[in-house]
Amino acid sequence: MKNDIKEILISEEEVSVRIKELGKEITKDYKEKNLMVVGILKGAVVFMSELCKRIDLPIDMDFMSVSSYGKSSRSTGEVKIIKDLDDSVEGKDILIVEDIIDTGLTLSYLTDNLKKRGANSVKIITLLDKPGRRNIQVKVDYLGFEVPNEFIVGYGLDFSEMYRNLPYIAALKEEVYNDEILNK
Ligand code: 5GP
Ligand code: MG
Ligand code: MG
């Protein structure tokens, strides 16, 4: 697996330090609120579990699974909910947890969707941001790290369901994903 990695962009230690900082910030900001943390499956799972341990407040945790239709490079793509939340969001202060924002399509759809259901507030935390690829503007309230326009794996992020368990954040070698595409 290590042979497929082009470069480690963010080490295990760096991620851990940043998540502690974000946890402190969120603890301060949500003291008087009714925090519900919503993780987007599956990429956000590793980040969300580490983050929640650093939030010193009573919180609800839930998950959603979505899939994007059409090319993600198109701003008109559709988003479909595959797994919805278990409970109502009415009156809750929602914090959506994402692994990475690329075009912005997924988060722009989810933010609107949760607001329409009567959430008190909807904010976004993402571990990674690729700002160079944005098609739809979304307000990122909390950010772990900016990353270059590479294919990123590790810390929850996959390529063909692999590499999610890498403890660091890395760029995948181009030949790995090019090979996969050619073999299909
Ligand atoms: P968006 O709707 O912002 O274009 O899509 C974001 C989603 O695309 C992320 O949640 C993630 O699942 C996927 N994605 C975008 N860029 C990358 C990347 O570099 N690596 C991986 N593993 N997934 C990515
Ligand atoms: Mg995702
Ligand atoms: Mg994926």
The type of residue at 150 is: E
**Confidence check: pLDDT of 69 > 80:** no
Residues lining ion ligand 2 (Cβ < 5 A) are 40, 43, 99
91-124 per-position pLDDT tens digit:
999 999 999 999 999 999 999 999 999 999 999 9
Closest to 49 in 3D by CA, of 34, 39, 60: 39
**Confidence check: pLDDT of 35 > 60:** yes
Residue 133: the pLDDT is 84
**Confidence check: pLDDT of 173 > 80:** yes
**Confidence check: pLDDT of 179 > 90:** no
DSSP per-residue string spanning the chain: -GGGEEEEEE-HHHHHHHHHHHHHHHHHHTTTS-EEEEEEETTTHHHHHHHHTT--S--EEEEEEEEEES-TTSTT-EEEEEE--SS--TT-EEEEEEEEESSSHHHHHHHHHHHHTT-SEEEEEEEEE-GGG-SS----SEEEEE--SS-EEBTTB-BTTBSTT-SSEEEEPHHHHHHHHHH-
Question: Are 52 and 37 within 8 A, CB to CB?
Answer: yes
Residue 72: the pLDDT is 44
Q: Where are the domains of the chain?
A: 2-183
State what percent of residues in the chain have pLDDT above 90.
Answer: 84
Residue 73: the pLDDT is 41
| Mean per-residue pLDDT of the chain | 92
* Interface ipTM > 0.90: yes
Residue 74: the pLDDT is 45
The CATH number of the structural domain formed by 2-183 is: 3.40.50.2020
Residue 2: the pLDDT is 74
Size (the chain), residues: 184
129-153 per-position pLDDT tens digit:
999 888 899 999 999 999 999 999 9
Question: Are 105 and 89 within 8 A, CB to CB?
Answer: no
For ligand 1, atom 15: residue with the closest CA: 102
Ligand 1 atom closest to Cα of residue 102: 3
Mean of the pLDDT values across residues 14-41? 98
Question: Are 95 and 63 within 8 A, CB to CB?
Answer: no
Confidence of residue 183 (pLDDT cuts 50, 70, 90): low
Q: Which among 75, 97, 102, 146 is the best mutation to test ligand 1's pocket, defined by most ligand atoms within 8 Å of the CB?
A: 102
